[in-house]
Amino acid sequence: MSIDLAITIHGLTKSYGRVLALRGLDLEVQRGEIFGFLGPNGAGKTTTIRCLLDMIRPDSGTLRVLGFDPQADPVAVHARAGYLPGELALEDNLNAEQQLRYFAALRGNRLDWEYVRRLAARLELDLKRPIKNLSKGNKQKVGVVQALMHQPELLLLDEPTAGLDPLLQQETLRLVQEARQQGATIFFSSHILSEVQEIADRVGIIRQGALVEVAETQTLVHRALRRVRLRLREPLATAALAAIPGVTILSASDGVSLVLQVEGEMDALIKAVAQFPVVEFETERPSLEEVFLAYYAA
Cα–Cα distance, 150 to 13 (Å, whole number): 31
Question: Of the candidates 87, 114, 234, 267, which one interacts with another protein according to CB under 8 A?
Answer: 87
Task: Point out which span in 106-114, 177-185, 207-215, 256-264 binds another protein (CB under 8 A).
Answer: 106-114
Query: Please, which residue, 179 or 252, has the CB nearer to another protein?
Result: 179
Query: Please, which residue, 87 or 267, has the CB nearer to another protein?
Result: 87
| Cβ neighbourhood burial of 204 (10 Å; 0-12, 13-18, 19+) | buried
Q: Coil, strand or helix: which one is 120?
A: helix
Number of residues that bind another protein (CB under 8 A): 33
85 part of the interface to another protein, by CB under 8 A: yes
Question: Of the candidates 78, 139, 141, 207, which one interacts with another protein according to CB under 8 A?
Answer: 78
Task: Point out which span in 43-51, 178-186, 230-238, 290-298 binds another protein (CB under 8 A).
Answer: 43-51
105 part of the interface to another protein, by CB under 8 A: yes
| Cβ neighbourhood burial of 253 (10 Å; 0-12, 13-18, 19+) | exposed
Q: How far is the CB of 90 from another protein (least distance, A)?
A: 7
Cα–Cα distance, 69 to 63 (Å, whole number): 6
Task: Point out which span in 47-55, 129-137, 193-201, 224-232 binds another protein (CB under 8 A).
Answer: 47-55
Query: Please, which residue, 3 or 105, has the CB nearer to another protein?
Result: 105
Residue 134 CB neighbours (<10 A): 19
The phi, psi pair for 134, rounded to 5°, reads -85, 145
Site mask, another protein, residues 208-237, x = CB under 8 A? Answer: ------------------------------
Whether the CB-CB separation of 148 and 155 falls below 8 Å is answered with yes
Question: Of the candidates 75, 240, 250, 293, which one interacts with another protein according to CB under 8 A?
Answer: 75
Bridge partners of 95? 130
Q: How many Å is the Cα radius of gyration of the chain?
A: 24
Query: Please, which residue, 54 or 97, has the CB nearer to another protein?
Result: 54
DSSP string, 190-248: ES-HHHHHHH-SEEEEEETTEEEEEEEHHHHHHHS-EEEEEEESS---HHHHHTSTTEE
Question: Of the candidates 45, 50, 141, 207, which one interacts with another protein according to CB under 8 A?
Answer: 50
Q: How far is the CB of 70 from another protein (least distance, A)?
A: 11
146 part of the interface to another protein, by CB under 8 A: yes
Cα–Cα distance, 74 to 51 (Å, whole number): 11
Site mask, another protein, residues 148-167, x = CB under 8 A? Answer: --------x-----------
Quick one: CA torsion of 132, 135, 139, 140, rounded to 10 degrees?
160
Query: Please, which residue, 79 or 249, has the CB nearer to another protein?
Result: 79
Residue 178 CB neighbours (<10 A): 12
> Residue numbers of the site for another protein (CB under 8 A)?
16-17, 46-47, 50, 53-57, 74-76, 78-79, 81, 83, 85, 87-91, 93, 102-103, 105-108, 143, 146, 156
